[in-house]
Structure formats: C-alpha cells, structure tokens
Amino acid sequence: MASSSSSPIWKYDVFLSFRGEDTRKNIVSHLHKQLVDKGVVTFKDDKKLELGDSISEEISRAIQNSTYALVILSENYASSSWCLDELRMVMDLHLKNKIKVVPIFYGVDPSHVRHQTGSFTFDKYQDSKMPNKVTTWREALTQIASLAGKDFETW
C-alpha cells in the first residue's frame, strides 16, 4: 500500500502503430486528435527519431500497457523493419489475449498484406541475414490480415 515506486501506473487505452511517411500528415493526425478529444489515452509513436536495431524499451512497455493496438497498414508499412518489429510484438501479445488489435487497411489490399504481395512484397528482405526474423514478420502480417479490420477503400 505504500508509495514506493516512482513509475506511474500508466495504462494506455490505445497504441497507434503506423508508418509515419505515409500517414503522419493525414489519417494518423486526425485519428490521434479525435481519440484524445474523446478521452481515449493514446500512445502515438512517431518513428522519425528512432535509432538502433530494435524497438526501444519505452515503446515495448507502451505496447504491453495498452488495451488496444490500432495498426494502420499503409503502402510503405512493410518496408520498415521498425514497423514490422512493432507489429510482431503486438501480434504476439494478441495471441496471448493480452491486447485487442484493430487493423486499418489504408489504401492497401488486405490480400496483399495476407500474402505479402504488391506493396507488401518481401523482396527486399530476400537476402536478409536474419531469416528467422523475416519469417516471424510474415506470420504477423498474415495473422493481422485475417482479423476483422476497417478498409478505407471500401468504406
């Protein structure tokens, strides 16, 4: 009962995963504003500033402490290993029932996401030094594409 720890017991309602260059100026900024206005506590990570090899501890903690993950799948999402790492973590938690996931297909074909074709092609990862990692990314994309999501093209 004592107040011994200084880390806030913060829980986010929503974690936003997105590719900044595709979505920062449009869907993400609107979405974020509206969520915040509604009182939904949202973690928005703009990866402009990311350095290093894997997602930071701060991001991974934020994901683990979120009730929902909104994943905005846009044209260049799969060309960022950051986004894919984030997605894999989200989907791992989803399999354990620890987070609810809502995919948003923003101008992309869900079947391209599912099969990693079209703009979601994995050609650039063909010669990757970490084939295991690439496999888990593929799995994560296939999993998220099979969830009920929102499709911007058909709405």
Partner 1 sequence: MIEEIVKDISKKLLIMQPVDFSDIVGMNAHMERLSPLLSMDSENEVRMIGIWGMGGIGKTTIAKCLFDQFSQGFPARCFLENVSKIYRKGGVSSLAEKFLSTTLGLSKKKMKGSGVKLGPQEIKARFGCRKVFVVLDNVDDMRQMHAFAQESSWFGPGSRIIITTRDKGLLNTYGVRTVYEVKCMDNDAALQLFNQLAFKGALPPSELYEKLSIRASWLAQGLPVAIEAYGLFFRRMTSLKEWDDALCRFIEAPDESVMEILKISYDGLEETDKNVFLHVACLFNGEPLRRATTLLDDGVLQGCLGLKILAEKSLIEITASGYIKMHNLVDQTARAIVNQESMQRRHGRGVLWNPYEIYELLKRNTVSTYSVYL
Closest CA to 18 of 51, 43, 52, 54: 43
CB 136 to partner 1: min, Å: 25
Q: How far is the CA of 7 from the CAs of 10, 11, 85, 131, in angstroms?
A: 8, 12, 25, 37
SS3 76: coil
Distance CA 23, CA 29 (A): 8
Residue 138 contacts residue 116 (beta carbons within 8 Å) = yes
Q: Which of 21, 65, 68, 134 binds partner 1 (CB under 8 A)?
A: 68
Quote the radius of gyration of the chain (alpha carbons, Å).
Answer: 16
Binning the chain into helix, strand and coil, the percentages to the nearest 5 are 45, 15, 40
* 76 contacts partner 1 (rule: CB under 8 A): no
Q: Which of 18, 22, 62, 137 binds partner 1 (CB under 8 A)?
A: 62
CB 104 to partner 1: min, Å: 7
CB 128 to partner 1: min, Å: 27
The residue (of 12 and 137) whose beta carbon lies closer to partner 1 is 12
Residues in the interface with partner 1 (CB under 8 A) total: 43
* 9 contacts partner 1 (rule: CB under 8 A): yes
* 107 contacts partner 1 (rule: CB under 8 A): no
Residues 6 or more apart in contact with residue 84 via CB below 8 angstroms: 77, 78, 137, 140, 141
* 1 contacts partner 1 (rule: CB under 8 A): yes
User: Pick the catalytic residue: 50, 75, 86, 139?
Assistant: 86
CB 88 to partner 1: min, Å: 20
Active site residue 86: yes
The residue (of 4 and 126) whose beta carbon lies closer to partner 1 is 4
